[in-house]
Amino acid sequence: MYRQITDPLAHPALTALLAATPLLVLLVLLGVLRVKAYWAALAGLATAVVTAVAVYGMPAGQAALGAAEGAAFGLFPIVWIVLGAVWINRLQRASGHGAVISRTFARLSDDPRVQAVLIAFCFGAMIESLSGFGTPIAVTSVILVGLGQPSLKAAAIATFANTAPAAFGSVGNPIQALAKVTSYPAAELGAMVGRQSAVIAFLVPFVLLFILDGRRGLRELWPVALAAGAGFGAGQYLCSNHLAYQLTDLVAALVSAGAVILVLRVRRPPHPPDPGPGAGSRVPVAPRLPAQPEPEPAFALAAAAPLVPPPVADVPSAPVPPVDHRREVLRAYFPYALLTLLFSLVSYDGPVARFVDAQDVSFTWPGLHVVSASGRPVAIATFDFGWLGAAGTLLLLTGVVSAWVLRVPARRALRCYGEALRQIRWAALTVSCVLALSYVMNLAGMAVSLGVWLAGAGRLFALLSGLLGWFGVALTGSDTSSNALFGAMQVTAAQHVGISPLLAAATNSTGGVQGKAAAMQNLVIAAGAVGLTGREGDVLRKVIGWSLAVLTVLCVLAWLQSTSVLGWMVP
């Protein structure tokens, strides 16, 4: 048996630095040295195991068993989700209905930047409202690629857009986990998170436009970003404070999408210019051959989109795409409608959800015996195998039914599944290693060491509270896990330094959502879904700066809420 210790060096700052080393190794190898993701993950895992054994005194056998449990969790449910999403995308492409989806979005707006906001931000939030674990990233990124977005930008956009709804994802699971460990009513926590998350979510569409097209994107499409952000923020605040926090993301996504569509009816944005010589304010670039890889100049996605051809100089707008028969449009969107229905059935309390929950299997990982510093068994040592209601299982069922609806022959459908397996094989290895790293850090007590060190910051803890949540999600990939890991610690630290414990608990969740953009499992999901396995570091470099920038805004907001300046925002 291993009993966790929180300060093995009797120096909180030095202990915290060593505790963070495995994650720092992973991020530096990925984002700075551009090492392939699976090698970076293996290096981070090795660092975590050495630190756990040499510094924290964890028995090597217990460290190995913890790593094995983490690897298993990486395969199920994480890799299971990616496989299902990629398979459905291949079925749509095989049947030709991927092009139908592209044409429907093109008719709504022929601007790929607007399409990206509607799909990654609004539609992604709808999926997040029912299922987390990176499902929205896997689904929306492949749709964006089908619309002609370059793979790297599609992965980055889908990853960063998933930060906005994460605090209320999976029918409010993060809030429920926070309530469980803090003993605060879930409704109060949801209301406080909504008063922070609404402000942060407002900024996300502006960042998405900047990632897509830099300053030109903001200059030309700021009304769209304003409508999307304001609609989403208003929906989050109103639903979390006055309706039901469990429905927050769904309501926010619908309000946001409606606001964008209204703006498009009132004000048609300028058509994206040809990224050739003299386009906009960009530096002229040489013409590109069709066979070259995805273009890099700031709005080359218009040139890359086969269904939205760039306008000729003397033509004011792109031609309207052909209208598909309504029956084919319904077939094209059938997988997403069925997926939403299945998630709803297993998420909301009812006979189906209760039957699915009854099939869940939970067990202590064989041979793993770890207790906290207080002597209680740690929850992370219990492996939950909810096989029937898992997002990956629902995606598999959706794919089976969709193959019949889309009229894909059984042999071709099986071939698509084999192609999906080959596409994500390296992503599976990376996710397993990253989750193994995460479990070793949590079981050894490294995550607790970081929390103890931050709690020693006194009144400045309000400024750093969000950082702890960010680290928790960057480590685990889940706002629910981060809340379970650090929620009680946030409350205890807040009581010690004299700030609102409710504020600190909520800030852990709201700060954590920005960690979604830096979470290795999400980067692997995004890269694997669009066929960029091994280039997770490229995706990270596109989003990490924005993740930290928005986190800084949240930290300042939380600090002001702990003072008389914005203290009125705390219930």
pLDDT by residue (tens digit) across 17-60?
998 898 889 878 877 887 887 898 899 999 999 999 999 999 99
* 179 touches 246 (CB < 8 A): no
Instruction: Identify the pLDDT of residue 295.
Output: 39
Give the DSSP letter string of 5-28: -S-TTS-HHHHHHHHHHHHHHHHH
User: Cα angle vertex 431, ends 248, 418, to 5°?
Assistant: 100
Listed as ranges, residues in the chain with pLDDT below 50 are 273-318
pLDDT at 289: 36
Per-residue model confidence (pLDDT) at position 299: 31
pLDDT at 272: 60
Q: Rounded to an integer, what is the distance from CA 164 to the centroid of its chain?
A: 9
How many Å separate Cα 298 from the centre of its chain?
Answer: 24
Instruction: Burial-class residue 397 by CB neighbours within 10 Å (0-12, 13-18, 19+).
Output: middle
pTM assigned to the model: 0.73
Characterize the bridge pairing of strands 361-364 and 382-385.
antiparallel
Biggest CA–CA distance in the chain, Å, is: 75
Dihedral Cα 233, 239, 242, 244, nearest 10 deg: -150
pLDDT number for residue 311: 46
* Residue 320: predicted pLDDT: 54
Q: What's the pLDDT score for residue 304?
A: 36
Per-residue model confidence (pLDDT) at position 406: 93
d(CA 408, CA 419): 15
Note the pLDDT of residue 131.
65
What is the C-alpha separation between 18 and 232, in angstroms, rounded?
Answer: 39
pLDDT at 437: 86
